[in-house]
Chains A and B, each alone.
Chain A
Amino acid sequence: MRASRVSNEGGMALAVAIFALVVIGALVAGTFFAGRLEQQTGQNTFYVGQAAEGAEAALAQTLGGSLSSSTMLDLATNGGSTTLGTVSLGGNVYGTPTVTRLTNSVWLVSALGERRRPDGTPLAQRQLGQLIRLNQANIKVKAGLTAIGKVTVSGNSTVSGFDQTPPQWVDEDCPTPDSVTGVLYNGQLTQQGSAVIKGDPNRQQDNTLTAGNMLGGGTFAQLKAMATLVLTSDISGLGPVTVGNPPVCNAAVQNNWGAPTDTSSACFDYFPIIYHNGDLSVSGTGEGQGILLVEGNLNVQGRIDFYGPVIVTGGVNIRGTGSDDVKFYGGVMAQDITLDDSKLTGNAMVNYSSCAIKRAIQGSATPIPLQERSWVQLYN
């Protein structure tokens, strides 16, 4: 009897409870879904932000030193491009910069930033760009020797304004030779002994020449601010120094001023902007290249060859002794602020070389953003 009574019982509590559970479950599931969606959206936004950071880091690293002027200049105009090494920020965030040459003087660095999964699959990408150009020393060399004050050229020394390209640079992109004045001066020029002054013309006095306009555009202070090698003492002997395998030119060594005539050296394309505060003495043997800035007097003796502009706020004293020559290819400018004489004696030689000047200026240049509208968000 009890069993039959139970089986006949009616009611809807179970159905109501199940219905309620289903509805509540659906609502809770919906809430969880919305929350999950929100969390995923936030995470994706975070990933995109990380990708943008990767792209920014790649741009910063490119402009901060990983891109050399020689790499930029080697690219063909209107589309030549090269991809540089990928930058890793850790946390699976990467940035890969590509440099494209647009015109003779403008390049685009486009950086692809990625937030990847551990297996390398991209989770988010962002591309940024920066229009850049080369920041070059603003120097216009007008003569083999440009000087203010008293200038003495004596002994067997030579000053030439005839444009000369060093024979080792036959394959370099040199400008068409264009000769200039031998000695351009504002003061007194004395030629003694067997000294030779030649050029087109061989000498010219310019009473408007001042320390302010001698450089033809920039100022000594501006050049000083671009220095990449600051000397702390006099130099005895010059020579290239490399480290590692494959060898990389060691820019930290004070007497490494590049390897201008050794095309196989890792320092062949190293053009430091060398600065010394105070009188500088360079002696011994060796060669170097770049831009030499001396805030004081420059004394050179021995068998030293230098390729590039030399700018001195004081006077220059270049002494070639006996068979030891001192040769300068490029141009020497002495602002003679302290009214010290500039002297070339012995077998000293100063040769104007537009190629040495161009190589030094371009080789020492660094990439900088265009001064306006350089940063760009890319979408392709």
Chain B
Amino acid sequence: MRNRRGFTLVELMIGMIIMLVVTGAVYKLLTTTQRLSRAQAERTDLQSNVRTTSIVVPNELREINTVEGSAIASQNDILAASGTSITYRAMRGMGYVCQSPTSTDLRITKSTFDGTRTPVAGRDSAYVFMEGADPDQGSDDTWQPVPISAVDPNSTCGATAAYKFTINPSVATLTAANVPVGTPVRVYEVMQLSLYANGGQSWLGARSVSANEASQPVLGPLVSGTGLSFEYLDKNAGNSMGTLNGVKTVRMTVRGITDDAIVTGASSAMAHVQDSLVSEVQLRNAFRP
């Protein structure tokens, strides 16, 4: 008995209690740290979503052209607008005519085409710059809308690689006299940005109207109902929703929300956190009159 070693029951109990306390404290520390880490990641995603939306949408809208006056309505790129959506002509690239066009055949140099992607038939249309009757004056210049029914990416202008646009229906004003070599051509598609709801959440939705696509979520999640809103301002910063050809500035408000509930503040209460950003997009091609 003298050589027996061991712990008494009391010692064991005390040891277990201490172990429990220490383990509990470590567990608490771990869970708290994990929650804070997760909250941080969620907040990062939230801010990233809001910031990216405020970059992507202005980049889309900045090139919009508006002109006051009904006689030149075809030059107004905002086709429809509401508080939560905008339908517009989105510029996708610019090229230069490389040989005299006909009413059904327009070719642009491939190497100098500059855009976000190559032109696509069924999705894209074009505007061709038209010099007015007086070549010394700019007040009679305009851009001729041109429908593109087919794109041949392997065409040529002489020995120069070119995109060939087949135009259907034909455009009679596309002639060698009206459209000299070098004339700029702007390629566009009709797009719609809107607040898109799916699966109980809302997103920045985008769709190609000209390609007849369904809306796809691009960025989010955003706050349901109010996650994306647009205001349309005229030259005096007044509301121009009813007169879209007078829009000079689009004000966009993005309200993002975390995907999951996260800890907020010092308490352990869990909630979805929101953040918002307001951006004003000056339409760079809306300086007339």
Contact = CB atoms under 8 A, between A and B. Distances in A.
Given A20-B29, A103-B131, A373 B65 contact: yes
Contacts, number: 127
Given A372-B75, A373-B186, A375-B284, A133 B138 contact: yes
Contacts of A217: 134, 137
B40 interface: yes
Interface of B: 19, 22-23, 26, 29-30, 33-34, 36-37, 40-41, 44, 47-48, 51, 55, 59, 62-63, 65, 67, 75, 91, 94, 96, 114-116, 127, 129, 131, 134-139, 141-143, 180-184, 186, 284-285, 287-288
Contacts of B75: 372-373
Contacts of B186: 373, 376
Find the residue from B26, B48, B62, B136 having the highest chain A CB count within 10 A.
Answer: B136
A42 B184 CA distance: 36
A248 interface: no
A379 B116 contact: yes
B40 A34 contact: yes
Nearest to A368: B138
A101 B182 CA distance: 8
B138 A30 contact: no
A106 B29 contact: no
A370 B29 contact: no
Interface residues of A, number: 49
27 contacts: A13-B22, A20-B26, A24-B33, A27-B34, A28-B33, A34-B40, A45-B51, A78-B96, A102-B182, A102-B183, A103-B181, A104-B180, A105-B131, A131-B129, A136-B137, A138-B137, A217-B137, A368-B138, A371-B138, A372-B67, A372-B141, A372-B143, A373-B129, A373-B143, A377-B62, A377-B63, A377-B91
B141 A108 contact: no
A78 B182 contact: yes
Given A78-B181, A106-B131, 19 more contacts: A17-B26, A20-B26, A27-B37, A28-B37, A34-B44, A41-B48, A78-B96, A78-B182, A103-B131, A103-B180, A104-B180, A105-B131, A106-B182, A217-B134, A361-B136, A372-B143, A374-B285, A377-B63, A380-B114
A64 interface: no
Given A34-B41, A38-B47, A377-B62, A370 B129 contact: yes
A17 B181 CA distance: 77
- 10 tightest A-B CB contacts, nearest first: A375-B284, A78-B182, A102-B182, A103-B182, A20-B26, A27-B37, A27-B33, A38-B44, A380-B114, A31-B37
A348 B111 CA distance: 58
A79 interface: yes
Interface of A: 13, 16-17, 20, 23-24, 27-28, 30-31, 34-35, 37-38, 41-42, 45, 77-79, 101-106, 108, 129, 131, 133-136, 138, 217, 361, 368-380
A376 B184 CA distance: 11
B76 to A, nearest CB: 10
Contacts of B44: 34-35, 37-38
B37 A30 contact: yes
Contacts of B180: 103-104
Contact of A31 (B40, B134, B288): B40
Contacts of B138: 133, 135, 368, 370-371
Nearest to A136: B136
Contacts of B62: 375, 377
Contacts of A131: 129, 184
A281 B40 CA distance: 78
B136 A138 contact: yes
A82 B7 CA distance: 93
B48 A376 contact: no
Contacts of B29: 20, 24
Nearest to B131: A105
Contact of B51 (A42, A78, A374): A42
B75 to A, nearest CB: 6
A37 B115 CA distance: 29
Q: Which of A102, A129, A138 has the largest number of chain B CB atoms within 10 A?
A: A102
Nearest to A25: B33
A376 B136 contact: no
Contacts of A79: 182
Nearest to B115: A379
Nearest to A24: B33
A133 B183 CA distance: 12
Nearest to B67: A372
